[in-house]
Amino acid sequence: MKTLLGYADQISVTAGDEIAFRVSSETAEAYDATIVRIVNGDLNPAGSGYREEEVPGTAWHIQGRPQKIHAGSCIVVDAAVPLDRLADGWSVTLLARPTLPDSSGQDGTGQVMFSLRDRMSGGGMEIGIKGEAGAYVTVQGSQARVTCAAGVPMRRHEWYRLRVAFDAAKGELTLSQAALESCAGIADSADVTVACAVEPAWTSAARIIIAARATAEGETIFGGFYNGKLEAPCLLDHAGAVIGQWDFSIGIDGQDICDQGPFHLHGHTWQMPGRAMTGHNWNGSIRAWQDAPEQYGAIHFHEDDIIDAGWATDFSWQVPAGLKSGLYAARLRSATDEDHIPFVIRRTAGTGHAPLVFVLPTASYLAYANEHLAIDAALAERVHDHVPVFGASDVFLAERREFGASLYDRHSDGSGIMISSRLRPVLNMRPKYQSWLGGTGSGLWQMNADTHIIDWLEHEGFDYDIITDEDLDREGIKALSPYRCVMLASHPEYVSTRMLDALAAHRADGGRLVSLGGNALYWRVVYHPTMPGVMELRRCEVGNGWITDPGESCHAFGGEYGGLWERIGRPPHETLGSGFIGQGFDKCTYFRRQADSYNPRVTFIFDGIEGDIIGDFGLIGGGAAGIELDRANSAKGTPLNTLVLARSEGHTNTYLPSTCALLINYAGQGAAQSDLVRAEIVFFETAEGGAVFSTGSIAWSGSLSHADYDNSVSRMTGNVVRRFIDPAPFELPASAARPVSF
């Protein structure tokens, strides 16, 4: 069982920066911490071996302490409520669309929609939903409590208008639960009044929390989380005058909550619930929330939203000058456990630069962060055609859901997880981690698979720097402009507009681009503009684990339309010459040279390579071609001067086309029966003397170290990189007018 876990406040640093590490030792054991450079994260004894290098002078012995994660989203109203205006009575109205109406909440006390309570005494009132009882309102006095419940359950995914009122003079508490659309034969609306001689025991410490209640555990620890959408909550005094009136359609792209009432009871979201959500009045004619924000006045709350673990710092390190750019980690070791907290050190500005930069695809790492697919998805074993094998980290995450999940998983209410963050321990973004997704053999996926490339770069002696996707998104082309050649990793699937623009600008300026993976530049993501390390995804038009609801395809972070870059109009074929076609996870195969490989334009690529077969070996599935595959298609943007150098073959029927590649389902789509699912190695020259080389296979990197790096995959990759960092320009071919693959 995992007992030692941590995360850093940054993912990318340079000399002079201070990076803070937040650690939880769940058994309160002391632990030792050391900074190490990660060269190869693969424990497979068939490979070149795990390798990390300690950074001298970085040793800490720290007394451990447990730190908790408190998941669940809500709204915190910052200003004090004028309680004197509520002495004679009050009322609250709001719109609600519950997504777990059968639940009585995580602690059985109800899912709270609106509360005004003193967190220490519990005095005040709350409105919520509690299973079969439907909506309820509770008034807590100094010594007594009164609850009024609708007595009829609310339907899932249906809108209701709730109104509660307390009349101090009459001693009455009333509740109205009204469905906006009735359903024949179902009684889900009710009006109830009960006697209430108890007045809310409010104090000046009472605060409004929307979608949760305050607790005595701390000012930022909440309970009773609500699952579903809320819209337009309004608090009025006994005479019907507005005290607070919150409009969620204002500031959709931020975390501030606006009160339109006279007392400016503004608030902020906690743990980032979903915004840009359709409201009760969405009529289906609008697809972008910017066009009619008044139809997007809802926020979707979840009991398991988690953006920031909020842990205290255990130790910090100021990065000294002179360290090599690379992938580093804070290695934590106690008597019973070990953890690595990864980060990148960039080359210090003004100290020169390498000709080659390796972009670590941290956006894709976030997309898969703490994924639960093999445990939660019923078809995982069938899709991957083998029994998933779980390690200690997987078992821990299955039991401890407060650490959050990936953008492939769903919330407890069934809705897709749209926001991911690195401000929490991400246990599958670690060296030594073996993934059930990674195929037979080494079983590496994402970051750990990318250490195969780092290991190869080190062995071959290339001068290179490393940057992250966050660097690329933040700085754009500035992050790439010092480098002649940009290298992409094994699976750079998730990219932002700014990242894609930077790659396009680099290529247009004559830069060279080497892609050593598959399923690249596929989904659009958006980074939060003010919270580094937080990223949003909308899976629209085609799903993968889930799909966005109608009308909710535009990101809250800036409003860009989400989904596949191919559907947005910028297919990866335009940038890399190939794009995703299919996947399989049982075993990997090899490439066979094609006629284009004998073109004089690519003689340098095949220098020293004998025979037609490339990569019939490897640590990932036994071959260089597999897991996820890309191929050329001029109809989707592959440049007409592209050469298809090699094509994979021998895949099993576990390899199937991607859903976006099919217009209709039919029998015989498996790779053993259909020629559609194949990876292709491609090359083409670009304007201004640049060029692009793409392998089209996630498994490629697992073959680099075979036979002590003396093999066709390593030799081909080395030939390409050496030519691509050479300043001599490439020449565009005189004529290239033929379609490429299909």
DSSP state of 470: H
Query: When comparing pLDDT for 351 and 174, which is higher?
Result: 174
Structural domain contains residue 685? yes
Q: Do 409 and 427 sit in the same domain of this protein?
A: yes
pTM of the model: 0.96
Q: Do 564 and 701 sit in the same domain of this protein?
A: yes
Q: State how far the Cα of 528 lies from the Cα of 530, in Å rounded to an integer.
A: 6
The average confidence (pLDDT) of the chain is 94
- DSSP H helical segments within 148-276, as ranges? none
Q: Is the pLDDT of residue 108 over 80?
A: yes
What is the pLDDT confidence band of residue 692, given thresholds at 50, 70 and 90?
A: very high
Q: Is the pLDDT of residue 596 over 90?
A: yes
Query: When comparing pLDDT for 186 and 698, which is higher?
Result: 698
Using only the alpha carbons of the chain, give its radius of gyration: 28
What is the pLDDT confidence band of residue 112, given thresholds at 50, 70 and 90?
A: very high
Asked which of 172-186, 303-317, 356-370 is least confident by mean pLDDT, the reply is: 172-186
% of residues, the chain, pLDDT over 70: 98
Structural domain contains residue 450? yes
Cβ–Cβ under 8 Å, residues 94 and 75: no
CA pseudo-torsion sign 40, 362, 716, 502: negative
Q: Do 326 and 203 sit in the same domain of this protein?
A: no
Q: Do 558 and 693 sit in the same domain of this protein?
A: yes
Q: Is the pLDDT of residue 671 over 90?
A: no
> pLDDT at position 734, please?
82
Q: Do 62 and 92 sit in the same domain of this protein?
A: no
Q: Which of 576, 588, 542, 599 is nearest to 700 (CA)?
A: 588
> pLDDT at position 199, please?
87
Angle at 280 between CA 275 and CA 285, to 5 degrees: 85
Q: State how many domains the chain has.
A: 3
Q: Do 331 and 291 sit in the same domain of this protein?
A: no
Cβ–Cβ under 8 Å, residues 677 and 582: yes
CA atoms within 13 A on the CB side of 377: 22
Query: Tens digit of pLDDT for each residue in 480-529?
Result: 999 999 999 999 999 999 999 999 999 999 999 999 999 999 999 999 99
Q: Do 163 and 260 sit in the same domain of this protein?
A: yes
- DSSP H helical segments within 60-170, as ranges? none
Q: Do 333 and 370 sit in the same domain of this protein?
A: no
Query: Tens digit of pLDDT for each residue in 253-272?
Result: 999 999 999 999 999 999 99
CB atoms within 10 A of CB 157: 14
Q: Is the pLDDT of residue 670 over 90?
A: no
> pLDDT at position 742, please?
59
Domain that holds residue 487: 362-579+595-609+630-650+679-724
Q: Is the pLDDT of residue 575 over 90?
A: yes
Q: Per DSSP, which regions of 213-254 are E strands?
A: 213-215, 218-223, 228-237, 242-247
Structural domain contains residue 659? no
Q: Determine if residue 586 is left, alpha or beta; phi over 0 gives left, psi from -120 to 50 gives alpha, anything else beta.
A: alpha
Q: Do 265 and 342 sit in the same domain of this protein?
A: no
Q: Is the pLDDT of residue 411 over 90?
A: yes
Find the CATH number of the domain harbouring 49.
2.60.40.1930
Structural domain contains residue 97? yes
Q: State how far the Cα of 315 lies from the Cα of 92, in Å rounded to an integer.
A: 46
> pLDDT at position 110, please?
96
Q: Do 49 and 194 sit in the same domain of this protein?
A: no
Q: Do 244 and 161 sit in the same domain of this protein?
A: yes
Q: Per DSSP, which regions of 418-484 are E strands?
A: 419-421, 464-468
Cβ–Cβ under 8 Å, residues 397 and 427: yes
Query: Tens digit of pLDDT for each residue in 220-248?
Result: 999 999 999 999 999 999 999 999 999 99
> pLDDT at position 591, please?
98
> pLDDT at position 739, please?
66
At 218 the three-state DSSP class reads: strand
Q: Per DSSP, which regions of 70-210 are E strands?
A: 74-77, 89-98, 111-117, 124-129, 135-140, 145-149, 160-167, 172-179, 190-195, 207-210
Q: Is the pLDDT of residue 379 over 70?
A: no
CA atoms within 13 A on the CB side of 115: 32
Angle at 19 between CA 14 and CA 24, to 5 degrees: 150
% of residues, the chain, pLDDT over 90: 84
